[in-house]
Amino acid sequence: MKSPVVLLSEQEIQTRVDELAAQISADYADVDELVMVGVLKGAFIFLADLSRRLTVPRTIEFIAVSSYGRGSKSTGAVRLVMDVRGNIEGKHVLIVEDIVDTAHTLKYLIGMLASHRPASVKTCALVRKAERAEVDVEVDYLGFDIGDEWVVGYGLDYAERDRTLPYIGVVTPDD
């Protein structure tokens, strides 16, 4: 496979993460605990950078899901692989996703976490492929909208490769 072609540089990502952190810190200024729920595996780098830049008290949880019909085609059926460990009842929850593609995962997660009866549930995603949306889900804090292309880096992978690149790049699988 050819090397990824840079779509969002390390500097562009870092600047946007700073902006999102400032916005989230302002919005939750009066909250005594924000529970950030990272969606494994892809959100681990974004969550690490974002969480360290917040100025409000926060705790970290992780959740893992898998969708049936893997690859670049999602069937829309999402399965919970690992739930949050802590009790989130009555707390303010922010779901931190790497990328929103068809939006089935985020829709499922909002419903699933809401069933734990938190005080609020909001969503944050670094990247969204707006034109691929199959369900309508609001992203409260969005890094970037991109086109319909497969991207890697900054936590995102293609068959487990390229997750740790500092930038986000487009890959084109070999024919």
The set of catalytic residues is 101
What is the CA angle 68-127-57, rounded to 5? 100
Nearest to 68 by CA among 59, 83, 55, 79: 79
Which residue type, as a one-letter code, is found at position 52? R
* Window 99-118: residues binding ligand IMP (CB under 6 A): 99-105
**Residue 20 or 100 having the CB closest to ligand IMP:** 100
Number of residues that bind ligand IMP (CB under 6 A): 16
Q: Which residues are CB-neighbours of 114 under 8 A, at least 6 positions away?
A: 121
Binding status of residue 13 toward ligand IMP by CB under 6 A: no
Region near ligand IMP per CB under 6 A, out of 4-12, 28-36, 48-56, 91-99 = 91-99
Region near ligand IMP per CB under 6 A, out of 15-23, 55-63, 86-94, 96-104 = 96-104
Instruction: Tell me how far apart the alpha carbons of residues 127 and 129 are, in angstroms, rounded to a whole number.
Output: 7
Which residue type, as a one-letter code, is found at position 151? V
Instruction: Tell me which residues touch ligand IMP (CB under 6 A).
Output: 42, 67, 74, 97-105, 150-151, 156-157
